[in-house]
Amino acid sequence: MYWAIKPFFVFAAIAGSFSYFIFRSKILLNTLTSLPTKADRSDHIPSRIKSVFVDVLGQRRVLKKKAPGIAHTMIFWGFIIITIGTVEMMVDGIFRGVNLSLLGEAIYGRYLLVADIMTLAVLSGVCFGFFRRLVLKPAYLKTGVDALTVLAFTAGLMLALFGMNSFRVAADPGSTLNQYFFVSGFLGNIIHQSGLSPDLAFVGSEVFYWLHLLLVLGFLMYIPRSKHLHILAAGPNIFFRQLGTSKAMIKTDLEDENATSFGLGKISDLSWKGALDLYACTECGRCQEACPASLTGKPLSPSNLVHDFRTELFAHQAAILAKKTEELPNVVRADSGVTEDVIWACTSCRACEEVCPVHIEQTTLIFESRKNLVLMQSSFPAEMQTVFRNLENNFTPWAFGSDTRADWCRDLEVKQMADHPTAEVLYYVGCAGSFDDRAKKVATAIVKLLKKANVDFAILGKEEKCNGDPARRAGNEYLAQMLIKENVETLNKYKPRKILTGCPHCFNTLKNEYTAFGAQYDVVHHTTFLSELIEQGKLKPAVGADKEVTFHDSCYLGRWNDVYQSPRDILKAIPELNVTEMPRNKNKGLCCGAGGARMFMEEKIGTRININRTEEALATGAKTIAAACPFCSTMLTDGVKAKEQQANVQVKDVAEILAESIT
């Protein structure tokens, strides 16, 4: 009788829950495809497939965090293997006898062995998960009902599986398959020896069968509305991820006559990829743990940001599906969690994107929201208005006349492109090198080194304009594009063979963002260029003044462009110079606080990022803090002053340290 009706019940349960699951998933998918903003991620398919292997199957980024990484990997692989058995169980439930045993005992037995061990692995991983969330409770980890439900589901599933298999063993103690059950065999023997009749043991195994099945199906129905959605979305999100380290900000088409809005105002302004990012978030909190804004008490936490955007997306799903989005509110508003303070706190350091195991692009949400605030609502920190004005009128964020741009090198005999258009290297000085007193000294050191190495170079002088980074990162895409287009025109007039920049921001924008505006050149940061000159023997460093040095990574060199080694190579090439790394170095380096145009904004909330970083640098005991970016130098110099260490510790650019070691 039981065998006659079981298939119907199994089928009904599966059909019902799968329908619900598909129905919910379809809504999620339709939401993505209903979003009008485009994003093209159809390039480099082989690299994308590779990325799925490395980051999904290989759990590369997940494993960057040891204990939770291992726990997750056990759960992940355990689930994949156990799922084979779960499918088998469902099929067998409907068509009795149709199961993996048909493959022969040799194969089936091995599968049972592996699955049984993996069940234990998943259970251990889950136990660690509970321990971490209930006992360790790291600050960056949000433990809500959702997270605990997911853990409980998983634990329940594994326990039910053990129950089912153990009672099966007890129900048929003579079966040759029993030897393959590593854990369940042990438990089954105990049950058997307790004197339970095989018939009752069979009933027990069926009870656990149902428990397991219903838990699986319940979990399936739970997934689409929970943080566990990542098991569906993480794979695709990694496939469609931003490939490589460097990236350009989205170029907004400002000439689009039909555009009624620019940037990300309403949630419906997201692209499908932006929405997929939101689906994929596992709420692991790693981004928050790395975020300089979160670390210093700003209202911005990248994981909260993603969470709040997702809440907004789900809240307005119906409107998006119905394509009735005119009435939707802006995401950035006082009561959405995403306030203006959140959006402006970001230094665009990309520490969040670096650690995110599922490759979410948090800065895109921030940059696009800033664009909307500035272009559509003229809403931005008051300090930025002067910066925008200066950029408009004098092409530099500071109040200096554009015709004094080359004054810094008046006494240095530096050629200008207008007089020497065939120069091998165009030295793009940047606004800091041209106008900031401290950075002018760095520019002077670079000139000295270039001359020493007989490099044929010239600068643009008055023809040079701000590269556009501060305006662009501050959301003023209109002003940024104006500056970029003017620079592109100048560059294309000279078509330089190589562009050398004295600033990581110039470097990044010229290298990665100018291509979209029709200027593709070989752009190199001064640390890379100078380290090459050393390697070629054109610069021969001798013992210099600086002995104990620590190096601060600039975000726009490191995390944005993967340049970690060249500045270190330069320092290493100087005899008797000893570099002590800070605990947070290279891709884990903490931002100085100046990126994302934060250089020009006041830091009114929380503690100061530059102080946090300076304390770390001072703790190394180094007498010189080396930097490779004028903004980092300014921030760290301010930090050293605030800590009253200016008599003992100096902040210098790597180029200055090198120049002082060469007579």
Partner 1 sequence: MKVYVCLKQVPDTESKIKVAADGKSIDSTGIKWILCPYDEFAVEESIRFKEKNPGATICAVSAGPDRVVDALRTALAMGCDEAIHIALPENADSYLTAKSLARAITKSGTPHLIFTGKQAIDDDAAQVHQAMAEFLSLPAVTVVLKAEYSATSVKLDREIEGGAIEKYEVATPCVIAAQKGMNEPRYASLPNIMKAKKKEIKKVTLAELDLTDTDTKVSYSAMQLPAERGACKMISGDVAAQAKELVRLLHEEAKVI
Return residues touching partner 1 (CB under 8 A): 254, 262, 374-378, 380, 382, 385, 388, 393-394, 399-404, 478
**CB of residue 423 vs ligand SF4: minimum separation in angstroms?**
36
Give the Cα separation of 554 and 563 in Å (integer).
9
Alpha helices in 425-521 (DSSP H): 430-435, 437-452, 469-473, 477-494, 504-508
Helix/strand/coil for 333: coil
The interface region with ligand SF4, picked from 38-46, 92-100, 302-310, 626-634 by CB under 6 A, is 302-310
Radius of gyration, CA atoms only, the chain: 30
According to DSSP, the β-strands at 624-627 and 548-551 are parallel
Which positions from 243 through 272 interact with ligand SF4, judged by CB under 6 A?
Answer: none
Give the Cα separation of 371 and 252 in Å (integer).
9
**CB of residue 285 vs ligand SF4: minimum separation in angstroms?**
5
Token pair of 359, please? 């490759």
**CB of residue 298 vs partner 1: minimum separation in angstroms?**
24
**CB of residue 607 vs ligand SF4: minimum separation in angstroms?**
14
Selection from partner 1, ligand SF4, none that 377 binds (CB < 5 to 8 A by kind) is partner 1
Which positions from 571 through 630 interact with ligand SF4, judged by CB under 6 A?
Answer: none
Question: What mask of x and - would describe binding to ligand SF4 in positions 358 to 377, judged by CB under 6 A?
Answer: x-x-xx--------------
**CB of residue 417 vs ligand SF4: minimum separation in angstroms?**
35
Selection from ligand SF4, partner 1, none that 284 binds (CB < 5 to 8 A by kind) is ligand SF4
Q: For partner 1, which is the closer residue by CB, 393 or 648? A: 393
Q: CA–CA distance from 439 to each of 429, 632, 634 (Å)?
A: 10, 11, 9
Q: Name which position in 286, 371, 473, 568 contacts ligand SF4 (CB under 6 A).
A: 286
Give the Cα separation of 640 and 624 in Å (integer).
11
Give the Cα separation of 645 and 656 in Å (integer).
20
Give the Cα separation of 442 and 439 in Å (integer).
5
Selection from partner 1, ligand SF4, none that 136 binds (CB < 5 to 8 A by kind) is none
**CB of residue 603 vs partner 1: minimum separation in angstroms?**
21
**CB of residue 230 vs ligand SF4: minimum separation in angstroms?**
7
Give the Cα separation of 345 and 365 in Å (integer).
13
Selection from ligand SF4, partner 1, none that 348 binds (CB < 5 to 8 A by kind) is ligand SF4
Selection from ligand SF4, partner 1, none that 161 binds (CB < 5 to 8 A by kind) is none
Alpha helices in 453-599 (DSSP H): 469-473, 477-494, 504-508, 526-535, 558-561, 565-573
Q: Name which position in 332, 351, 534, 628 contacts ligand SF4 (CB under 6 A).
A: 351
**CB of residue 123 vs partner 1: minimum separation in angstroms?**
56
DSSP string, 239-308: HTS--SS--------TT-TT-S--SS-BGGGSBHHHHHHHHH-----HHHHH-HHHHTT-S--HHHHHHH
Check residue 303 for interaction with ligand SF4 (CB under 6 A): yes
Helix/strand/coil for 648: coil
Q: For ligand SF4, which is the closer residue by CB, 285 or 567? A: 285
Give the Cα separation of 386 and 597 in Å (integer).
13
Give the Cα separation of 379 and 385 in Å (integer).
10
Give the Cα separation of 512 and 449 in Å (integer).
26
Size of site (CB under 6 A) for ligand SF4: 29
Q: Name which position in 302, 337, 430, 433 contacts ligand SF4 (CB under 6 A).
A: 302
Q: For ligand SF4, which is the closer residue by CB, 300 or 455? A: 300
**CB of residue 256 vs partner 1: minimum separation in angstroms?**
10
Check residue 450 for interaction with ligand SF4 (CB under 6 A): no
DSSP string, 69-92: HHHHHHHHHHHHHHHHHHHHHHHH
- CA angle (631 as vertex; 369, 431 as ends), nearest 5: 90
> Cβ of 493: how many Cβ atoms within 10 Å?
12
Q: For partner 1, which is the closer residue by CB, 19 or 393? A: 393
What are the backbone dihedrals phi and psi of residue 627, each rounded to the nearest 5 degrees, phi first? -135, 170
Selection from ligand SF4, partner 1, none that 376 binds (CB < 5 to 8 A by kind) is partner 1
Q: Name which position in 85, 285, 567, 630 contacts ligand SF4 (CB under 6 A).
A: 285
- CB 130, CB 151: distance < 8 Å: yes
Q: For partner 1, which is the closer residue by CB, 208 or 408? A: 408
Which positions from 305 through 344 interact with ligand SF4, judged by CB under 6 A?
Answer: 306
Check residue 426 for interaction with ligand SF4 (CB under 6 A): no
**CB of residue 85 vs partner 1: minimum separation in angstroms?**
58
Q: CA–CA distance from 417 to each of 395, 459, 463, 522, 652 (Å)?
A: 18, 6, 9, 17, 29
Selection from partner 1, ligand SF4, none that 401 binds (CB < 5 to 8 A by kind) is partner 1
Site for ligand SF4, rule CB under 6 A: 281-287, 290-293, 300, 302-303, 306, 346-352, 355-358, 360, 362-363
